[in-house]
Amino acid sequence: MTFQFNGWRKCVSAVALAAALAVPGAAFAETLTIASPGDAQPKNILPIRAGNTSWVQAVFEPLVRIMPGDDTPQPVLAKSWTVSEDGKTVTFELEDGVTFHSGRPFTSADVKFTLETAADKASASQFSFIASAISEIATPSDTEVVLTLERPMPNLFEFLSQTVIVDKDTYDQRADGKVLVGTGPYKFADWVPGASIRMVSYDGYRDPSAHAFDEIDIAVITDPTAMISALRSNRAQLAMQMQPRDAIELSGNPMYQTVPTAGSLYPLGVNVTDAPFDDKRVRQAVGYAIDRDRINQQIFDGLGTPTDLFWPTSDEQAQHYAYNPDKARELLKEAGAEGATATVALHALPSQRAIFEIVQNNLTDAGFKVEANILDPSTYGQQQIAGELGPMFIQLHGMDGLSPATLLSAAPALREGNPSHFWTDEYLKLRDAVQSAANKQASDDAVKALGDYLLDQAFNLNILSAPTLSVSTTNLEGVEYTTTGYIVFNHASGG
């Protein structure tokens, strides 16, 4: 078994095999088939969505990309940029000759439209708080964009890397998946909700070598056993977001390669306005009740990092709520909440279901009565955006590796309007200290103070951070993954 971690980055490439072949790696074909547990959410192009990781950055493109293991922005739709000495003006020169799939030229007006749309909370972008801090977007020409910022923003390029540029003329027609017009190397051709997605190569793309496949088919497969079967039968050449144990098993076969594609956070939160979770002691009891090490070993085969917080921190903070069911029962009794019902909302994804089974056992052992509210990803996403997930919820944030300053406003668990309904003056003060820190020491001090407060209030505690694993046949080369797990096909090749 060999894993090659480089931060969270490993380039994997994909060339499909002939559909009739049963032996992986025997031949190349013009169609790549991907198995994904998440369905497309075409309405949500701008926010991070697990079901969109297989196709959005093939159909659409950002101004720049920041890939795992390298913080340097790489040009995509922007070919160059300059930042003023005071850090408050950023000027972009755009690529010439770029067209949308409709044939219309891409211009600075599309960039302006996209950034203004991302600033609107209705877009559901986790980075709307950064877009909102852009005080002016000027377009002196079709190929020039000038951003004026309220203050220097060290996470501006983090936002631009995650935000794809949309077609201003067709964006409002996206919801049903019939009109999705981007500038990427592949066109969105067809979507059967709950079943499949199909992309075809865009002949007008500025780099003909960027689309190695005539067609990319994505099969929505939610059952882990069926996903393994699709790989072994060669009905799929790349499987995304696999169960760690399944991925590791396949990695022992020389026909396959296992790749960590992004880092994900798995928070467990409660609604502090719902009794008994309005009592801090009950929230802390939940923290002590969860056996994070068991979840890591049993579900993630030890590849994750159990931690109570959302970013790298000291062992003291990370293990503040070390598994202690006796302490959990003691706090629950002290609060008079023994036998309280905990209805847990979760994604209908294999990893979430597996986590819930252990969480359910842990909470039952501590004295809760536990029920599940299993939601399809689209419904879960809508309720999460609305901040209405019920009394308790397991979340999935593909944001491991983002800075604390960005996570505070990007992660649904922590941002304003969070489903915990937690927003105090002290929390706001500590957040502001992190996001306005002028140097590393000030940042470190502010992050520690905030971490202590999060642990004390316990409205949302992380269970662990873990890599998301994909498996492909070994003759697939050059498919890359962004920090949030989106596939980039531009450098794919068939051998």
pLDDT, tens digit (0-9, with 9 covering 90-100), for 159-186 = 999 999 999 999 999 999 999 999 999 9
Whether 22 has a pLDDT exceeding 70, the answer reads: no
Six-digit token string for 141: 């020409």
Q: What is the pLDDT of residues 471-486, one digit of tens each?
A: 999 888 898 999 888 9
Q: Which residue has the higher pLDDT, 94 or 263?
A: 94
Whether 26 has a pLDDT exceeding 80, the answer reads: no
pLDDT of residue 104: 98
pLDDT of residue 175: 94
pLDDT of residue 191: 97
Whether 28 has a pLDDT exceeding 70, the answer reads: no
| Segment 380-399 mean pLDDT | 92
Cβ distance 264 to 468 under 8 Å? yes
Six-digit token string for 374: 């299993």
Q: Which residue, 450, 301, 282, 462, is CA-closest to 368?
A: 282
Average confidence score pLDDT of the chain? 90
Q: How far apart are CA 104 and CA 97, in angstroms?
A: 10
Cβ distance 384 to 358 under 8 Å? no
What percentage of residues in the chain have a pLDDT greater than 90? 71
Q: What is the pLDDT of residues 317-374, one digit of tens each?
A: 999 999 999 999 999 999 999 999 999 999 988 889 999 999 999 999 999 999 999 9
Q: What is the pLDDT of residues 130-144, one digit of tens each?
A: 999 999 999 999 999
Q: Which residue, 270, 274, 232, is CA-closest to 250?
A: 232
Q: How far apart are CA 408 and CA 386, in angstroms?
A: 17
Whether 82 has a pLDDT exceeding 70, the answer reads: yes
What percentage of residues in the chain have a pLDDT greater than 70? 94
Q: How far apart are CA 492 and CA 486, in angstroms?
A: 14
Six-digit token string for 114: 């996209």
| Segment 10-32 mean pLDDT | 42
pLDDT of residue 159: 92
3-state SS record for the chain: CCCCCECCECCEECCCCCCCCCCCCCCCCCEEEEEECCCCCCCCCCCCCHHHCCCHHHHCEECEECCCCCCCCEECCEEEEEECCCCCEEEEEECCCCECCCCCECCHHHHHHHHHHHHCHHHCCCCHHHHCCEEEEEEEECCEEEEEECCCCCCHHHHHHHCEECCCCCHHHCCCCCCCCCCCCEEEEEEECCCEEEEEECCCCCCHHHCCCCEEEEEECCCHHHHHHHHHCCCCCEEEEECHHHHHHHHCCCCEEEEEEEEEEEEEEECCCCCCCCCHHHHHHHHHHCCHHHHHHHHHCCCCEECCCCCCCCHHHHCCCCCCHHHHHHHHHHCCCCCCEEEEEEECCHHHHHHHHHHHHHHHHHCCEEEEEEECHHHHHHHHHHCCCCCEEECCECCCCCCHHHHHHHCCCCCCCCCCCCCCHHHHHHHHHHHCCCCHHHHHHHHHHHHHHHHHHCCEEEEEEEEEEEEEECCCEEEEECCCCCEECCCCECC
Instruction: Tell me the whole-structure pTM to 2 decimals.
Output: 0.77
pLDDT of residue 21: 32
pLDDT of residue 324: 98
pLDDT of residue 494: 57
Cβ distance 41 to 31 under 8 Å? no
Cβ distance 490 to 207 under 8 Å? yes
| Segment 221-238 mean pLDDT | 93
| Segment 99-122 mean pLDDT | 97
Q: Which of 10-14, 101-105, 151-155, 325-329 has the lowest mean pLDDT?
A: 10-14
| Segment 246-265 mean pLDDT | 87
pLDDT of residue 183: 98
Q: What is the pLDDT of residues 448-472, one digit of tens each?
A: 999 999 999 999 999 999 988 899 9
